Structure 1
Amino acid sequence: MRVDVKICGLRDAAMLDVAVGAGASHVGFVCFAPSPRHLGPDALAGLAATAPRACTRVAVVVDADDALLAAVAPAVDVLQLHGREIPARVADVRARFGKPVWKAAGVRTAADVRALVRDFAGADALLFDAKAPEEAPMPGGNGLRFDWRALAEVALPSRWVLSGGLDAATVADAVRLTGARAVDVSSGVEDAPGVKSAAKIRDFVKAAHG
């Protein structure tokens, strides 16, 4: 089975075309002002509209209110909640906006993974990222990875995504060691924060699929 690849933090049509052309199954758009990858709702909707329908479009938000979700939800296929949302909020977003919801969170240990699996069983998918430092302005996209062995100690749900510090040099090992069927990358395919590299995107997708 081919590994699904999500290229996240896309900000322009050129890099979106590169990601789709390279074979990414998912494209992600960040709507969170502190992020260098931030797109406002209108810009996000405009860019998402250019993605082919065969490619799953994901809006990444952090502790978003209903007004923001209402602005971005019609433009995408999936809402990824990457903040401090509680299980009831995930269920509410799913019911209110009629979109699949991924819950993303930073993990460091098997206990972190176990808690996420237990608490967010109602999410359509879980995304395991590296836990951000306390002083970090963003919960993800920090180029950090966690010890993948933590995943082996927990019974994982049927749908989960591996993220956190992946790049073309590490993704094949990550898939082999964890059994991940879906991977997510943002900073690992950039030349600078928020600046995607066409070559790195192509290399990453090729390595993930290889």
Structure 2
Amino acid sequence: MPEQSRTGVKICGLTEEVGFDACVEHGADWIGFVFFERSPRFVTPELAACLARRERGQAKTVGLFVHPQDDDIAKVLDHAPLDVLQIYASDERAQQISEVFGLPVWLSYPVAGREELPPTCPVQRMLIEPRPPKDATRPGGNAQKLDWSLLAGWQPSFPWMLAGGLTVDNVGEAVRVTGAPAVDVSSGVESAQGIKDPSLIARFVRHARSN
């Protein structure tokens, strides 16, 4: 995200109005909806549409999908006005989705070591996050922290975002260590699973941009 001097912030897993409004009030750049039924933050297309119709300010809406079929995405887009599609899939599938729907696509990219960092970006942005635990029931949203030292000095030529285990208390350090141009948080700003805390959202955004 070289065109942006401040750290970009995405708040993911919105399920209710208070949290959504707090994202807008405190200047989040992106607000994410999870369309994966095994997630505790899953929302229906209808609920996402109701939330997305609220005052959004400059925030963009992001829909998260896990290995979706085209019909899965189309059914959501019939209801909810998404600005970005965030995908767990192969590079090739992510490219195909971008071509089919004509929307920016972000590819979630779990890594376990520096040698696994992507050399190129097949779509509009890469989300770098830790590999999920072996017993995980979902590919992300597990509050698992990436070893930030893997990213020290990494300067890819494409837009990317840091995700995984970020909180109010560690996001400032994460940005300093990794140089991440943008960060993604979900459980780290919650008062209960799936319920966002407005005060934590405010502090997270502030701390992410404190460098």
TM-score w.r.t. length of structure 1: 0.92
Q: Distance in 1 between matches of 2:70 and 2:49?
A: 16
1:198 and 2:198 matched: yes
Matching residue of 2:119: 117
Structure 1 runs of 4+ with >6 Å offset: none
Matching residue of 2:68: 64
How many pairs align?
204
Distance 1:117 1:192, change over 3 A: farther
Contact 1:31 1:44 in 2 (8 A): no
Contact 1:9 1:186 in 2 (8 A): yes
* Cα shift at 1:57: 0.8
TM-score w.r.t. length of structure 2: 0.91
* Cα shift at 1:31: 0.5
* Cα shift at 1:195: 1.8
SS at match of 2:119: helix
1:19 and 2:23 matched: yes
Matching residue of 1:41: 45
Q: Distance in 2 between matches of 1:117 and 1:163?
A: 18
1:163 and 2:159 matched: no
Q: Distance in 1 between matches of 2:22 and 2:208?
A: 16
- Structure with higher helix content: 1
* Cα shift at 1:45: 2.1
Distance 1:158 1:51, change over 3 A: farther
Cα RMSD for the two superposed structures? 1.5
Using the aligned pairs only, state the percent identity.
38
1:86 and 2:86 matched: no
Structure 1's unaligned 5+ residue stretches are none
2:204 partner letter = F
* Cα shift at 1:105: 2.2
Structure 2's unaligned 5+ residue stretches are none
